[in-house]
Amino acid sequence: MKVARIGEIEPIAVAGVNWRPVRRTLGIEAFGINAYTADAGEEVVEEHDETGAGAGHHEELYIVVTGRATFTVEGEEIDAPVGTCVFLDDPKERRAARAAEDGTTVLAVGGERGAFVVSPWEFVFASAPAWKAKRYDEAKPLLLEGLELHPGNASLLYNLACLEAVSGEKDAALEHLAEAVKNPRFRSAAETDADLDPLRDDPRFSAALESPSA
């Protein structure tokens, strides 16, 4: 584990801005991330796009973490107080930002489109609002989408089994549960999970929990 505080990373004055090399300081290799600081009236993100010889051709997300900035993207001005996220998915878009307050810090996160793999938990979290509202026909496709990306993932299979159990899809739920509980964590969870109560009288439920773990 490594810990760094943005304000303690020595800034490097380059290209008209104060660059704090977050990625290099922490040794991050999965994505680009850096911070830029400026006082009111100063440029905090230099004007550029992501198509030049020195560019990574990345999607970029800018997050204002202190102060306030004014972004200009393709001639459009955007007022950006703390907490504002400015996302540019097109590397060709010209972008720049100027600090509107002293001590403004902008965090820039970038990466190549398509290289990132969405984690299994994100599909579970995304399905939660529809699930809680009992709109199971909306929640289920999100879990299935996750399984397409992560075939055989125990977390997704378990959550899918729970959803199918409460929505009356008993056979599908038992099939997915049998796969999920090969993971001891989900075998233990299944013993008391109320979502699985509709399955407990079926002998296939007991058989799934009694079968040897993978």
Please write the tens of the pLDDT for every residue from 156-167.
Answer: 999 999 999 999
Q: What's residue 52's pLDDT?
A: 86
Indicate if the pLDDT at residue 116 is higher than 90. no
Q: Looking at 89, 111, 133, which one is the last position of a domain?
A: 111
Residue 212 lies in a domain: no
The Cα–Cα gap between 52 and 115 comes to 20
**Same domain flag for 68 and 40:** yes
Q: Looking at 111, 142, 158, which one is the last position of a domain?
A: 111
Residue in 128, 179, 172 with CA at minimum distance from that of residue 150:
179
**Same domain flag for 99 and 125:** no
Percent of the chain with pLDDT over 90: 91
The CATH number of the domain holding residue 151 is 1.25.40.10
- Pair 67, 99: CB distance under 8 Å: yes
**Same domain flag for 125 and 65:** no
pTM, full prediction: 0.85
**Same domain flag for 19 and 93:** yes
**Same domain flag for 100 and 61:** yes
Q: Dump pLDDT digits (tens) for 25-48.
A: 999 999 999 999 999 999 999 999
Total domains present in the chain:
2
Residue 164's domain comprises 120-204
Q: Dump pLDDT digits (tens) for 73-104.
A: 999 999 999 999 999 999 999 999 999 999 99
Residue 40 lies in a domain: yes
Residue in 20, 61, 9 with CA at minimum distance from that of residue 44:
20
The Cα–Cα gap between 106 and 26 comes to 18
**Same domain flag for 149 and 168:** yes
